[in-house]
Chains A and B, each alone.
Chain A
Amino acid sequence: MLEVRGLTRAFGGLKAVDGVDLDVPEGAIVGLIGPNGAGKTTCFAAIAGFVKPDAGSVRFAGADVTGREPHVVARAGMVRTFQITQPFARLSVRENVMVGAWLRHARRAEAEAAAERVARAVGMGAMLDMRAGDLTVAGRKRLELARALATAPRLLLLDEVMAGLNPTEVAEIVGVVRSIRDGGVTILLIEHVMQAVVSLAEQVHVLNQGRIIARGTPAAIAADPAVVEAYLGHGAAARLAGGGGGG
């Protein structure tokens, strides 16, 4: 569904994203992880059109969308959420989600019905009339998800949708994401919360300093020394290995 080749983007002299290759098969849940500052959000921004890549290509559902405007990409069916939530603060939850629904429905009644359906699916049924600006962090995260979902996307780019949630909330959202995928939406997610990555992702790509350093199942990359080093520092893998197996 998504083919990224050689994606590169620099800011000033620093290459935030350096020759990234990424494949997301249709119907899959793929994870993109890496330490802070690795370039994950920049990847999303470059893929979704918010930032123009310096080099590389992005193919979505067979079509070349490299460097297209964000709204064009979204209309084609690839929709991103934001790491720092961007609610339409003065609008209600219902109106927020409707903005997404309006993309696919021309009549108000349909858009409203679709929005309510999506909001309930995400667990926001009780909050439909609340002002978005009054929501808690967890609520805002759900709202990001609901809004994006209301556009009936084919591929969702979820940016740290679990951040700031307690374990119970994480488990809930994991369930929601899984059911979204079961409904036919492909998902690429950036995540720090390992509980979510392990439960959801079938394939994981690890990004460090703008480059992909490992790919594989969650179990495989957890054991990969390069990945351990990226998170825990140089020499950590050797230290851990030397420190003994179990216990």
Chain B
Amino acid sequence: MSARARLLLALGAVAALALPLVLPSNYAVNVAVMILFSAFLGQAWNIAGGFAGQTSFGHVVFFGTGAYASTILHATWGWNPWLAWPMAALAGGAVGLGIGALAFRAGLRGSYFALVTLAFAEVFRILANSAEFTRGGLGILIKADARAANFQFRDPAWFYYVALALVAASLAIAWWLRRSRFGAQLAAIRENEDAARALGIDVLRAKTLCMGISGAMAGAGGTFYAQKYLYIDPTIAFGVEKSVEMLLVSMIGGAGTVFGPLVGAVALGFVGEATRALTSAQGLGLVVYGIILVAIVARLPDGLIGLFARRAARRGGRDA
């Protein structure tokens, strides 16, 4: 990494750490928390959709699995939520491996893969809606008991720092992917599966493993959400909205890049707040997001990161 990039990263880290101290209100801090959380979930999607090129429309299934796993362990079985948290990641990962193995073994790609993930999410939603242990449509309430040891904080700044840690971890994972053999395999698979095979890559294994990692990350995100909002139900856990958000954040920021989801989350966060300031009616923000998605796919396939990269390259060219 260049010296300039290192400096930017360091400055960014310092700014991120100091942010809650500078923001004027709890509302603002909560917005920041949601942006970071969105960036984390987006990175989870990015592992599968961006790096490996496996566009999924049903990624919420991993999020919801994790959310229910830790919440049931905590609220019904009395586990400490910090201990339940890794279980959620494991659950998300297992579902990731399962769905990946089934879908990829059947040779599903592109649109078919996207649709089958959507169908899986829908199956989970309906099951969660009818099952006893998930309390069906009623959902599960976590008793409010704001202690750090209980993974609940009165001051949203603490949730901010946990989210920041998650984002940092996700950036590290993405960074590792960019540099590692496994990441190169995923990139090859994304670009051309047959050529990847011809070069000795076990495509099925790599794709499945990638879904496992992605699922584990999203599952971990589920616990965070549950502990912050203290309530989950089948629609929150398995509804399409989260899938769309994860995809949007990555695509708009720059799929397949390390910082794409973060950039996308920040951009969409600002759009969301701007539309919320304009009108209290729901939906306008997502309308804008949808238009941006179309524009990005049409004009800027590398997302906002691609835009910055192109500008930097042009500027570099002129200076040279």
Contact = CB atoms under 8 A, between A and B. Distances in A.
Interface string A67-96: 001110011000111100011111100010
Nearest to B181: A102
Contacts of A147: 195, 199
Interface stretch (A103-111, A175-183, A208-216, A223-231): A103-111
A148 interface: yes
B223 to A, nearest CB: 33
B188 interface: yes
A124 interface: no
B200 A75 contact: yes
Interface in B179-213: 179-181, 184-185, 187-188, 191-192, 194-203
Given A102-B184, A111-B181, A88 B192 contact: yes
Interface in A31-83: 48, 50, 69-71, 74-75, 79-82
B198 A70 contact: yes
A192 to B, nearest CB: 21
Contact of B197 (A71, A87, A89, A106): A71
A98 B201 CA distance: 12
Contacts of A87: 191-192, 195
A88 B201 contact: no
B197 A74 contact: yes
Nearest to A147: B199
Interface string A146-163: 011001000000000000
A79 B184 contact: no
A99 interface: yes
A100 interface: yes
Interface in B155-187: 179-181, 184-185, 187
A115 to B, nearest CB: 10
Interface in A126-145: none
A108 B179 CA distance: 7
A175 B179 CA distance: 34
Contacts of B200: 71, 74-75, 79, 103, 151
Contacts of B191: 87-91
A187 to B, nearest CB: 16
B199 A99 contact: yes
Contacts of B197: 50, 69-71, 74
Given A102-B184, A108-B180, A151 B199 contact: yes
Contacts of A103: 199-201
Given A87-B192, A90-B191, A98 B198 contact: no
Contacts of A82: 194-195, 198
A71 B181 contact: no
A50 B194 contact: yes
Contact of A148 (B184, B199, B202): B199
A75 B185 CA distance: 14
Contacts of B195: 82, 86-88, 147
Interface string B67-82: 0000000000000000
Given A86-B192, A108-B179, A91 B187 contact: yes
Interface of A: 48, 50, 69-71, 74-75, 79-82, 86-91, 95, 98-100, 102-103, 106, 108, 111, 147-148, 151
11 contacts: A74-B199, A80-B198, A82-B195, A87-B192, A88-B188, A89-B191, A91-B187, A91-B188, A102-B185, A103-B199, A147-B195
Interface of B: 179-181, 184-185, 187-188, 191-192, 194-203
Given A89-B191, A91-B188, 20 more contacts: A69-B202, A71-B202, A71-B203, A79-B200, A80-B198, A82-B194, A87-B192, A87-B195, A88-B192, A89-B192, A90-B191, A95-B184, A95-B187, A99-B184, A99-B196, A103-B199, A108-B179, A147-B195, A148-B198, A148-B199
Can you list the 4 inter-chain pairs with the closest CB atoms, starting with the nearest?
A: A88-B191, A74-B200, A86-B195, A70-B197
